[in-house]
Amino acid sequence: MLVLFETAAGYAIFKVLDEQKLQQVDSLWKEFETPEKANKVVKLKHFEKFQDTTEALAAATAMVEGKLGKSLKKVLKKVVAKEAHEQLAITDAKLGGVIKEKLNLSCVHSPAVAELMRGIRNQMEGLITGLPAREISAMSLGLAHSLSRYKLKFSPDKVDTMIVQAISLLDDLDKELNNYIMRCREWYGWHFPELGKIITDNLAYCKSVRKIGDRTNVASMDLSDILPEEIEAEVKLAAEISMGTEVLDISVIEISEYRSQLYDYLKNRMMAIAPNLTVMVGELVGARLISHAGSLLNLAKHPASTVQILGAEKALFRALKTRRDTPKYGLIYHASLVGQTTAKNKGKISRMLAAKSALAIRYDALGEDTNAEMGVENRAKLEARLRYLEEKGIRRISGSGKALARADKYQHKSDVKVYDPSGDSTLPTVSKKRKIEEVEEGEEEEKPVEAKAKKVKRESPTEEAETETPKKKKKKEKKKAEEESKPEEEETAISPAEEVRGVER
């Protein structure tokens, strides 16, 4: 039986001298207590050394993924194929299936083989000749670093794993800083309560506390490097009349400084890995989106609708369960473009921002360029759209719909005005056509409008006499008398002009 043993320095092929000892699995470890005993069980037949770390990494990654690497295939064809009747003991059953399929070699994997591999690893320095222990340890360390970088998908251009950890650490530091500052203000407030109202900045407050210590030292202390002159004078005045008690020194300045360094690191990493996403939503929001998705590549697989509500999953499922309106935004709500718009337009802007951000993420994750031109161009479009929506809302509030329509349809026309000489004449100038129209209109006005006579139901004389009351009879008689007297008045009527002439005579 042959044994395939993988090391950081290369591949080793051993020959099992006594196969009967493999049947005693529980006591097999006793055969590898010393190098002399181990040499009686197995013997080194061939050792294929790696040329450099790159070859070792390629072989190790192929072994991890259960594939047959080039160097291993070369060794098996060179050594094992000569003894095809022999079985090959291996550590990975998946790799054994690949070897059997490609090279038609019978492979063995069992608990006895695993115990044999453990014994060989224990006495590796004595079994593999010509390879010093120091060299084996150096190769193992180099391969371990290279394999770790490969598993982390390390790349100087796209270190999204570091971004995920950095934003998580930044959030933790913010929480811790808030707790420390709150405790510092609370505890030191017992000693110098007036200082918290005078100094509102947390970092300046902590620096002042560390430098002042006891409030009695304020009078003889220079705080100009921390505070402005006006605030320094106010602090010194408040220290003289303060009624606080004694307290120990507290400081959180080192953590605040580390937090600023970490933020600078995160900003630089985001601009190197996802420049277009950083331009669209900012460093912190972009890093939180990557952290929430797991990696930049996973985030690139999400559609724009998912990017829009990423971080609001709990609200989404609650809305679906209760049959209410689903959320319009998640982590993207903290982007500057969404924050500067009105509440009415936040949903529209978040939807448009998510659509453009999804394109930027895919460009950053899968594109070869590292510039931010696409992000700058899309952000300019979104800002123009935001201005249009804001102006439209203001105009809608200030004017009516007709006024807006007139303003939209307005076109500037530059007409040249010509002098009209008709204004120089004092005579009335009326066209013939106008005179004819006025005459025709006058004739139409003089024609009396004939009212349509209403149809009256005829009744017999006997019925009229029965139905008419004394009042109605009087009204009829009066009406008839008025109608008879009208023609006589018209005949005898004299015009006003004739009256005037009669008076002159």
Q: Which CATH number goes with the domain that contains 143?
A: 3.30.420.220
* Same structural domain, 225 and 119: no
**Residues whose CB falls within 8 Å of the CB of residue 102, separated by 6 or more in sequence, listed in order:** 68, 73
* Same structural domain, 165 and 138: no
* Same structural domain, 47 and 91: yes
* Number of Cα atoms under 13 Å in the Cβ half of residue 425: 7
Least confident of 5-19, 180-194, 345-359, 431-445: 431-445
Domain edge (last residue) among 392, 413, 448: 392
Q: Which residue has the higher pLDDT, 4 or 363?
A: 363
* Same structural domain, 174 and 146: no
* Same structural domain, 250 and 283: no
Domain edge (last residue) among 350, 376, 392: 392
| Cα first-last separation, the chain | 165
* Same structural domain, 28 and 127: yes
Residue 289: give its domain's CATH number: 1.10.246.90
> Does the pLDDT value for residue 415 go beyond 90?
no
Whether 119 maps to a domain, the answer reads yes
Whether 446 maps to a domain, the answer reads no
Asked if residues 49 and 83 have their Cβ atoms less than 8 Å apart, the reply is no
Residue 179: give its domain's CATH number: 1.10.287.4070
* Same structural domain, 143 and 236: no
* Same structural domain, 217 and 274: no
Domain total in the chain = 3
- Residue 162 CA to residue 160 CA, distance in Å, equals 5
* Same structural domain, 146 and 6: yes
pLDDT of the residue at 40: 83
Highest mean pLDDT among 79-88, 194-203, 210-219, 252-261: 194-203
Instruction: State the residue range of the domain holding 97.
Output: 2-152
* Same structural domain, 107 and 22: yes
Q: Which residue has the higher pLDDT, 210 or 420?
A: 210
* Same structural domain, 205 and 90: no
Whether 96 maps to a domain, the answer reads yes
The C-alpha angle with vertex 301 and arms to 297 and 305, in degrees rounded to 5, equals: 130
Q: Can you tell me whether residue 409 is helix, strand or coil? A: helix
Whether 432 maps to a domain, the answer reads no
Whether 90 maps to a domain, the answer reads yes
> Does the pLDDT value for residue 451 go beyond 50?
no
pTM tops 0.85: no
Mean of all residue pLDDT scores within the chain? 76
Whether 185 maps to a domain, the answer reads yes
- Residue 306 CA to residue 330 CA, distance in Å, equals 9
Domain edge (last residue) among 346, 372, 392: 392
Whether 409 maps to a domain, the answer reads no
Whether 117 maps to a domain, the answer reads yes
**Residues making up the chain, counted from first to last:** 505
* Same structural domain, 244 and 275: no
